[in-house]
Structure 1
Amino acid sequence: MAREWDEEYDVVVVGSAGGALTCAYLSAHAGLSTAVVEKTSRVGGMAAYSGAALWLPGTQVQRREGVDDSTDAARTYLRALLGEDNAEKREAFLAEAPALVRRLEDDPALAFRHQVFPDYYERPGRVPGGRSVIPADLDPGELGDLLHLVRPPVDRDRAGQGNDTAVPLAGGRALIARLLLAYHRTGNGTVRTHTRMEELVTEGDRVTGIVATGRDGRRLRVRGRRGVLLAGGGFEHNDALRRDHGVPGDAAWSMAPAGTNTGEPLTAALALGAATDLLDEAWLCPGLVMPDGQPAFVCGLTGGLVVDAHGARYANESLPYDRFGRQMAADPARIPSHVVFDDRTGGRFPGVALPPPGEAAPHLAAGTLARADTLQELADLIRVPAKALTATVERFNAFADSGADEDFGRERDEYGHWFGEPVLQPVRKPPYYAARLILSDLGTKGGLVTDAAGRVRRADGTAIAGLYAAGNTSASFTGSRYPGPGMPIGTSMVFGALAAKDLIGREPHRLSAVG
């Protein structure tokens, strides 16, 4: 039956973060007309808020900067951590990562460098100092009129401000800006913001486009002659889906930008019989409650200790954030928790958080930070048993004096030392402070089951022709583990690239429904 389309392209990409823009750029660079469909007014999603460490092992970036990394070392590390689950996707990821970086750096708009940032587990194949690469900073002037499309830093975005034109774009904003610039320069790419994807359109058993709603409320039918990539994030801002699937935390506590990631791409694919996995999983992290009630992503502590509702420690506070988040999720008494510290910081939060926590005064006024002259008074303010809190701090101080955390080994791992020395500092200098921690996340990590080419599968293992997924719209091949910094964005980019390779290499009539 003939279809009436409002717009037609070779490739339609739903979403605008790392994996989406990687697929869009590679498709457009190959000469395919491509549309990026973004629900909000800005591109970049959660990736724009990130530091954009990319877990892309064995690339030319590591080699030219003298980092002792290789594809074989990364394979050893992933096998030791994940076993043989999803081996096909693991091998596809490992093979494609170096090739992808090489292709991207062939474009003058795209440049990367190594950044020291340790892997998150002590396993064979771990690289001292880490193997992450990050995008080079970018002068805002190079973007011209495209700058207004790039999502600002989290603090400015939450305040309704745009990008600072006097400050180079760094981290996630540099990644998004560079990919956007490269995409724009192909001459084959369109970006459509304020456009919410709602349904997938099929002809026979093949996906040929989407139905979306534009800013004016008008429904649009957008054709993707070769296929559609769903890379519009997870469903972390959807309370009902989180509750239905048992995802830890709360939609209000997610770090994802407001108005994003409510699960429409997932729901649309489910209507076509797509298989799913890991729907109860998320990329977890502790969240420091800010004066406006929103969370700040805590990626590491430089002092203090963390206690639960019983006034007790329950984990190594210097664990990588996802691992600490999983410790929080294991017991309701740990949400909220409190970071207890003393006046050596002048009341400033003793850790690295995004957005930066700032001075103590706004937190004290908002009640997100407590201050007292004694531990007993502090315990009353945060409603934990005073005797237990005092004993916990005294025990911790003894560990700090000796340099060895006998309960949780906080001083032992490379990750904890990366944020500052010493890892263990006594808490003895009044006044004392307690900052509130909740369980936040960087997005859900369960979603559509895909194959090594990024094609969405049904429960029987066959592929839904013309439909691809990447990033948090798809189920991560790392399962419940978070191997290292930049794994979410790195894998999203790689599987976005693999989807592009499949889209570029096949004419519509040659697409097979069998994976």
Structure 2
Amino acid sequence: MVETLSGLQQNEAFDVVVIGAGGAGMSAALFAAIDGARVLLVESTEYVGGTTAYSAGTTWIPNSSHGPSINPDDSSANAEGFLRRAVGERSSAALRRAFLQAGPRAVAHLEANSDVKYRARPFHPDYLSELEGSTLRGRALEPLAFDGRQLGRHFALIRPPIPEFTVLGGMMVDRDDVGHLLNMTKSFKSLRHAVKLLARHARARISWPRGTRLVMGNALIGRLLHSLLARDVTVLVSTKLEALRTNASRAIDGITLSQNGQRRQISVTGGVILASGGFNRHPQRRRAMLPGADPAWCPGAPGHTGSAQDLALAAGARYGEGALSNAFWAPVSIRKRADGTTAVFPHFIMDRGKPGMIVVNSQGRRFLNENTSYHLFGIAMQEAHRTTPSVPAFLVTDADGLRKYGLGMVRPGGKGLAPFLADGYLTQAATLDELAAKLGIDAAGLADSVARINDYAKTGVDPDFRRGTTDYQRANGDANWPGPNPCLGPIARGPFYAVRLYPGDIGAATGLVSDDNARVLNRDDRPIGGLYACGNDMQSVMGGVYPAPGITLGPGLAFAYLAARDALARAKAASAGATHAQPATAPVAHGATQAANEKIA
């Protein structure tokens, strides 16, 4: 049930309180409710869904019940070995093992007891596909589409998707839909699929402000919300966590909330689970941990201010250390919308890795592999920028590339370019020299880069950056490309086009140090009683590496499951008058990240 804070009594008691209603937080609340807890879910913004609602909703869970039908040869040993090679010492092996063991159980528990349903993508490679133990399919799960009309008036609670990822005024499309829409004039099957989509959307828009067929991250959030409401979980939106209350044992036993001038003390018998999205929009911490990354480049939802982490740090928690990066990254392009807001568009797979596309720096030179994962792409931009101006970088293509693949917010087809040209989002020129002049980059360098890529397209070999040499890279090229490498094609026919790219942080990798039950640890590696973290509030079990699709949502789900289970056990012990099985002063028995960050003032 969706409440106002004034509807709760002073010191009203809940078994479990979850702070943050993104994918991890909503999952934690649902796990606790399924197992019989009285649950309060608190969200600081007016919407539920967080950045998950913006995302593809991909959840990386090796060896789920869906995996064998796609990849019967996968195993836990394969996945564990893959993560060991990908992540190494950047995270605890015990935490990775806890994730791998809990993930399949979490998926099964949700699917058996809620409306949350998944399927495995038939083909979705691990990003570091060159490593032993990687797979091309079976580990990446996606939520089934959901009919938002089932939520009734509560449909309005779901954070709408990024408008630029929708079509026709709010119609969501997934990977399969995009393929059908682009092929509808060539295939009767695609035409039928497209007509069905369009007809459903037209009917929905008669009564609803946007499309009600939810896919990807919106579908996952819709299914979670529907399940939470069915179990009478109390949901508060636009509500701020102001304080964590501790008892004589320094365990968390309550919180203070505020909403529209109202304030309530809430008692908590089992635990508080932090899933507020991380530090990315915390002004001081962002400057210290993501130096040089403009907040305007962040495509994430607005709720991850780090304020809940501030309270945890004050209660004795600490940040982890040793991650490859403090955040996960993607190249983004920026455009002002007509209403004055800023569109931040992540360039995941639709353009930069296709044949006939290159990325250059201010010298007009390529400086990275355009087909690498978006995380490594963002890191490479920042590293290159230390020596040669590479932020912004420039994604360059010709008339054929723009028509076939689009360019960022510019859709495939080559039509409707005028608004993008008028506001400067898209740059067009008749020649490469003219394009370089308009972009303010070196013309000779650009000409040389294009000449090189045109030669490489003939041979299929990129000796500079080895583009298109892994299964993952080739999967993001063009399978129908007639050349020897699906990632390499010429840039030859004018006019020529470019958009500017920036490194955008898509989520926090550094978070609160926690154990393999998601209990937040203090500086002595002991659990802070009654305090848990999952999602991007928890130190990344991937150590800031991005080895596969869905490696934020997957661990978020697994540790939400573990946190809810442990918190509920604690609540039951408290109600029975027993002490917790492992008090806050006991040493931690399981592996956890050892290094710590002091709180940043």
Whether TM exceeds 0.5 here: the answer is: yes
Amino acid in structure 2 at the alignment position of 1:335: V
Name the residue aligned to 2:285: 241
Name the residue aligned to 1:450: 514
Is contact 1:341-1:350 (8 Å) kept? Answer: no
Amino acid in structure 2 at the alignment position of 1:322: H
Distance in 2, matches of 1:101 and 1:186, equals: 18
Q: Tell me how far 1:107 sits from its aligned partner.
A: 2.4
Distance in 2, matches of 1:425 and 1:327, equals: 22
Note the 1:369-388 alignment, pairs <5 A: 369-388=426-445
Is contact 1:58-1:70 (8 Å) kept? Answer: yes
Name the residue aligned to 2:391: 335
User: Of 254, 258, 268, which aligns to 1:209?
Assistant: 254
Name the residue aligned to 1:60: 65
Name the residue aligned to 1:305: 358
Name the residue aligned to 2:104: 98
1:27 aligns with 2:32: yes
Is contact 1:299-1:353 (8 Å) kept? Answer: no
User: Of 129, 140, 143, which aligns to 1:135?
Assistant: 143
1:43-71 Cα deviation digits (max 9, x unpaired): 01000111111110001011234453222
SS at match of 1:433: strand
Q: Tell me how far 1:157 sits from its aligned partner.
A: 10
Distance in 2, matches of 1:153 and 1:67, equals: 34
Name the residue aligned to 2:115: 109
Q: Tell me how far 1:146 sits from its aligned partner.
A: 2.6
Distance in 2, matches of 1:34 and 1:420, equals: 46
Is contact 1:291-1:362 (8 Å) kept? Answer: no
Amino acid in structure 2 at the alignment position of 1:372: A
Relative to 1, partners in 2 of residues 1:40 and 1:157: Cα closer, same or farther, differing over 3 Å?
A: farther
User: Of 282, 293, 297, which aligns to 1:253?
Assistant: 297
Relative to 1, partners in 2 of residues 1:377 and 1:68: Cα closer, same or farther, differing over 3 Å?
A: same
Unaligned 5+ segments in structure 1 are: none
Distance in 2, matches of 1:425 and 1:368, equals: 24
SS at match of 1:290: strand
Is contact 1:255-1:443 (8 Å) kept? Answer: no
Is contact 2:71-2:137 (8 Å) kept? Answer: no
1:150 aligns with 2:162: no
Q: Tell me how far 1:452 sits from its aligned partner.
A: 0.2
Note the 1:479-490 alignment, pairs <5 A: 479-490=543-554
Name the residue aligned to 2:452: 395
Q: Tell me how far 1:209 sits from its aligned partner.
A: 2.2
Distance in 2, matches of 1:463 and 1:241, equals: 24
Note the 1:270-285 alignment, pairs <5 A: 270-278=313-321, 281-285=326-330
Distance in 1, matches of 2:292 and 2:68, equals: 39
User: Of 52, 71, 80, which aligns to 1:75?
Assistant: 80
SS at match of 2:59: coil
Is contact 2:66-2:138 (8 Å) kept? Answer: no
Amino acid in structure 1 at the alignment position of 2:390: R
Q: Considering only aligned residues, what root-mean-square deviation do their CA atoms show, in Å? A: 2.5
Distance in 2, matches of 1:32 and 1:346, equals: 53
1:80-114 Cα deviation digits (max 9, x unpaired): 11225401101100110111111111025121101
Q: Tell me how far 1:291 sits from its aligned partner.
A: 4.2
Name the residue aligned to 1:265: 308
Name the residue aligned to 1:50: 55
Distance in 2, matches of 1:210 and 1:354, equals: 47
Distance in 1, matches of 2:421 and 2:308, equals: 41
Amino acid in structure 2 at the alignment position of 1:284: W
Relative to 1, partners in 2 of residues 1:166 and 1:310: Cα closer, same or farther, differing over 3 Å?
A: closer
Amino acid in structure 1 at the alignment position of 2:142: I
Distance in 2, matches of 1:213 and 1:294, equals: 31
Note the 1:180-191 alignment, pairs <5 A: 180-187=225-232, 189-191=233-235
Amino acid in structure 2 at the alignment position of 1:389: L
Is contact 2:330-2:506 (8 Å) kept? Answer: yes
SS at match of 2:99: helix
Q: Tell me how far 1:223 sits from its aligned partner.
A: 2.3
Amino acid in structure 1 at the alignment position of 2:150: E
Q: Tell me how far 1:164 sits from its aligned partner.
A: 5.5
Amino acid in structure 2 at the alignment position of 1:38: E
SS at match of 1:490: helix
Q: Tell me how far 1:165 sits from its aligned partner.
A: 5.5
Task: Compare 136-145 and 39-48 and name the one that shifted more.
Answer: 136-145
Q: Tell me how far 1:198 sits from its aligned partner.
A: 2.6
Name the residue aligned to 1:119: 126
Amino acid in structure 1 at the alignment position of 2:378: G
Q: Percent same amino acid among aligned pairs?
A: 34
Distance in 2, matches of 1:70 and 1:355, equals: 40
Distance in 2, matches of 1:358 and 1:319, equals: 29
Name the residue aligned to 1:196: 240
Task: Compare 470-479 and 499-508 and name the one that shifted more.
Answer: 499-508
User: Of 461, 466, 469, which aligns to 1:412?
Assistant: 469
Q: Tell me how far 1:254 sits from its aligned partner.
A: 0.7
Distance in 1, matches of 2:500 and 2:343, equals: 12
Distance in 2, matches of 1:157 and 1:391, equals: 34
SS at match of 2:492: coil
Q: Tell me how far 1:143 sits from its aligned partner.
A: 2.2
Relative to 1, partners in 2 of residues 1:352 and 1:309: Cα closer, same or farther, differing over 3 Å?
A: closer
Distance in 2, matches of 1:73 and 1:390, equals: 45
Note the 1:464-483 alignment, pairs <5 A: 464-483=528-547
The count of residues paired between Structure 1 and Structure 2 equals 509
Distance in 1, matches of 2:93 and 2:535, equals: 18
Distance in 2, matches of 1:154 and 1:442, equals: 13
Is contact 1:14-1:37 (8 Å) kept? Answer: yes
Q: Tell me how far 1:145 sits from its aligned partner.
A: 3.0
SS at match of 2:213: coil
Q: Tell me how far 1:260 sits from its aligned partner.
A: 1.3
Relative to 1, partners in 2 of residues 1:67 and 1:289: Cα closer, same or farther, differing over 3 Å?
A: farther
1:155-183 Cα deviation digits (max 9, x unpaired): 18999989766441111111111112122
Is contact 1:289-1:295 (8 Å) kept? Answer: yes
Q: Tell me how far 1:351 sits from its aligned partner.
A: 5.6
Is contact 2:70-2:138 (8 Å) kept? Answer: no
SS at match of 2:60: coil
SS at match of 1:125: coil
Is contact 1:155-1:355 (8 Å) kept? Answer: no
Name the residue aligned to 1:431: 495
Amino acid in structure 1 at the alignment position of 2:222: A
Distance in 2, matches of 1:173 and 1:325, equals: 25
SS at match of 1:106: helix
Distance in 2, matches of 1:242 and 1:158, equals: 30
Distance in 1, matches of 2:292 and 2:554, equals: 24
User: Of 230, 248, 264, which aligns to 2:274?
Assistant: 230
Task: Compare 483-492 and 248-257 and name the one that shifted more.
Answer: 248-257
Is contact 1:252-1:294 (8 Å) kept? Answer: no
Name the residue aligned to 2:197: none
Q: Tell me how far 1:446 sits from its aligned partner.
A: 0.9
SS at match of 2:347: strand
Amino acid in structure 2 at the alignment position of 1:456: V
